[in-house]
Amino acid sequence: LHLKNETTEDLDLSLFSYAEFSIFDAANDRDNYQYTYNIATCYKEDSYIFHDTLYCLYKIIAYHCSSHQFQGFDCDREDFIGPYNTEANPRGVLAGRLNNKNISGGNPCGALHVDLSLSEGKEEDILFIIGIEETKEAIKKVSQRYFSPGYTEERLQEVKDYWRQIFDRFIIETPSSEINSFINVWNPYQIRTTFYLSRGASIYEGGIRRGMGYRDSNQDTLGPAYQLDDELHGLLSELLSFQYEDGKACHGYFKMSREGYGEDPYSDDHLWLILSITNYIKESGDTAFLDKKIPYYESTKEGTVFQHMEQALEFSRVNYGDHHIPLAFHADWNDCLNLRGPRGKGESVWVGFLYHRALLEFIELCRMTGKEDRVKKYEEDARKIKEIINSHAWDGYWYVRAFDDNGRVIGSNKNKYGKIFLNAQSWAVYSGVASLERGKCAMDMVRKHCFSEHGLALLWPAFREYDRSIGSITFYPPGLKENAGIFCHANTWAILAECILGRGDIAMEYYMRLLPPHANEIATLHKSEPYVYAQVIAGPEHQDFGLARNSWLTGTASWMFYVFTHYILGIRPFYNGLIIDPCIPSYWEGFTAKRQFRKTMYTMTVKNPEKICGGVKTIAVDGKVVQGNIVPLTSGKEVKVEVVLGK
């Protein structure tokens, strides 16, 4: 804490610190009060508060201390907060004095009271430390180090330098200062957080329910691939080790216990591997990864990464229903669309799109890594699924979303609720299944039925009756979560689809609707932090339309960064270079970007003299014009790229 007395008086101040301690066993601490309320030990000794509950089991001591001598302390949460009070008005602070109470059983905390006199114009640093170590000797050693002059400032500088070198890998300058600050700082910060924590402990999840989500973690690698090298290799290897021999994958797993769960498969989990691995190889150039051997989850057998990928495609190729569309199993990306039913026949058109996209990525990978012999087979699989979807799933103006266990169509104009689903249209385009004509028509219908001032609703109209054959999507109130909420994650794919269709103005409009600082204007309604994406915003059919929930750990962060940089700015890593293919709003005059790719820093200037959305007229690399729109790989450290858009 840095304090400066800017008044014209000398001040006598009382400072209070407060930290809650957990019992070292999160599950017990949360639900076993008959035990936890009787086991805590927390006490002052010398100038420290120690919390060594269950030391015998875990060999951990938590502690709290200050650089300044303290006048009082409290180790009892109930005593510090006081009856009927909260952290907003703790008894100890209101009274201006603490009760110096150790506890033996009860609710542990560490609170300190430091008195400080600060004369006019003076300033002072006060340090409060919480930490854990194995012994009291170690605690004293560590804390004394922090109290030595300059040490804490140096550590803080290290933290800042750490983030600076991450941010410096991708710096942009566009006509929008909100976008610049978001892409240069906040979005990279959030995608690193989702990369490490996936759907682990947060204020919205206790952390013991899901651990690392399989599809989530795969998608969480897409955005930060440019920031991470070895760690990406590590996470992908870990994900592959939770894949079964037949190609399906666990739905999630716990990192520390290495336990996977979800034997009852989801229809999409395994397919995300193709997208995450190809993205990793394009970014890093690490084609050797394909030959790495990794065991399958349930057996002692191992396969190369390439074989794991082939197996993932095989699982979707052979598990299909009456329309020859992939089976829906428990659910697909939409956890709440549960279509399997007793006959096990529900089909997911959306998984068909994902499967097709994965096939295209895989075919490209085979071509670029000398595995031409595989190409024909996968091209034939891609042709088949594309034809099947186009003949069974086109509803006249858009694509349907699925078929339930009885063959009933979902996401059709014929339905009473859920007539049109956003993902079925955006992915029709992204997957390459839709023709340009159908793609434009489907996305126009999305604009007509799902677009609102706070973003695109996941479907329209919301379900208003329970329907177990469709699943838990119908349990939510209309306009919330998967039942026609504005699912931010899914909005990213609509932006992507609009870029593929070349409609940069619409893509930017959708992007800006969800840009968190944009919600500053409606902060009291929106409620979420204005510097991170939330999972969902209440949709137009809900009374709290515009209210955001579940911020931080959402696939939105990674995909938004990916879509903005790869598709709006159009800077896309590829196996043999950096593709430049912007789709910007026509009113932008251009932009600049500094981006690290492999070991080279690319400084790019993109000019838009004709005020169009996309289309590269010329690219000059270090002053020399290149053919096409790929900036070739180089061993140089720095490369200058000048791009002019034009018809």
**Binding stretches for ligand NOJ (CB under 6 A):** 199, 213, 215-216, 333-336, 482
133 or 335: whose CB is closer to ligand NOJ?
A: 335
Closest CA to 420 of 440, 396, 452, 404: 396
CB of 199 to ligand NOJ, least distance (A): 5
Q: Strand 616-621 vs strand 486-487: parallel, antiparallel, or unpaired?
A: unpaired
CB of 380 to ligand NOJ, least distance (A): 30
3-state secondary structure of 394: strand
The catalytic site residues sit at 335
Distance CA 552, CA 535 (A): 8
51 or 489: whose CB is closer to ligand NOJ?
A: 489
Structure-token pair, residue 626: 């290149």
Q: Strand 212-213 vs strand 252-254: parallel, antiparallel, or unpaired?
A: antiparallel
Q: Name residues whose C-beta falls within 8 Å of residue 225's C-beta, 6 or more positions apart in sequence.
A: 232, 279, 280, 283, 284, 573
Give the CA count within 13 Å in the CB-facing half-sphere of 412: 15
Structure-token pair, residue 185: 């700082």
199 or 572: whose CB is closer to ligand NOJ?
A: 199
Q: Give the chain's length.
A: 647
Structure-token pair, residue 232: 């990406």
For 266-383, strand residue ranges (E) read 293-295, 302-304, 347-348
Q: How far is residue 7 from each of residues 10, 118, 122, 126, measured CA to CA in Å?
A: 8, 10, 10, 19
Q: How far is residue 637 from each of residues 87, 419, 595, 598, 633, measured CA to CA in Å?
A: 53, 53, 12, 10, 11
270 or 282: whose CB is closer to ligand NOJ?
A: 270
Structure-token pair, residue 57: 């089991």
Structure-token pair, residue 547: 């209210």
3-state SS of 504-567 is: HHHHHHHHHHHCHHHHHHHHHHHCCCCCCCEEEECCCCCCCCCCEEEECCCHHHHHHHHHHHHH
Q: Which amino acid is at 76?
A: D
Paired strand residues for 420 = 460
78 or 238: whose CB is closer to ligand NOJ?
A: 238
215 or 282: whose CB is closer to ligand NOJ?
A: 215
Q: What is the largest CA-CA distance in the chain?
A: 83
CB of 364 to ligand NOJ, least distance (A): 25
* Cα distance between the two ends of the chain: 58
Distance CA 451, CA 491 (A): 10
CB of 536 to ligand NOJ, least distance (A): 8
Instruction: Count CB atoms within 10 A of the CB of residue 557.
Output: 32
79 or 332: whose CB is closer to ligand NOJ?
A: 332
216 or 541: whose CB is closer to ligand NOJ?
A: 216
CB of 459 to ligand NOJ, least distance (A): 12
Q: How far is residue 445 from each of residues 43, 442, 451, 563, measured CA to CA in Å?
A: 65, 5, 9, 21
CB of 389 to ligand NOJ, least distance (A): 21
Q: Name residues whose C-beta falls within 8 Å of residue 86's C-beta, 6 or more positions apart in sequence.
A: none
94 or 208: whose CB is closer to ligand NOJ?
A: 208
CB of 259 to ligand NOJ, least distance (A): 18
Distance CA 554, CA 54 (A): 35
CB of 546 to ligand NOJ, least distance (A): 20
Distance CA 447, CA 453 (A): 11
266 or 561: whose CB is closer to ligand NOJ?
A: 266
Q: Does the bond joining 461 to the residue before it have cis omega, within 30 degrees of 0?
A: yes
Q: Are 495 and 552 in contact (CB under 8 A)?
A: no
Distance CA 52, CA 43 (A): 9
CB of 65 to ligand NOJ, least distance (A): 39
Paired strand residues for 51 = 42, 62
CB of 320 to ligand NOJ, least distance (A): 21
| Lookup result for tokens 């592959």 | 240
Q: Which residue is nearest to ligand NOJ (CB)?
A: 335
Q: Are 11 and 117 in contact (CB under 8 A)?
A: yes
Q: Are 439 and 460 in contact (CB under 8 A)?
A: no
| Lookup result for tokens 């804390």 | 143
CB of 252 to ligand NOJ, least distance (A): 9
Distance CA 66, CA 88 (A): 22
51 or 199: whose CB is closer to ligand NOJ?
A: 199
Cα dihedral sign, 472-478-481-485: positive
CB of 418 to ligand NOJ, least distance (A): 14
112 or 490: whose CB is closer to ligand NOJ?
A: 490
| Lookup result for tokens 């999305």 | 446
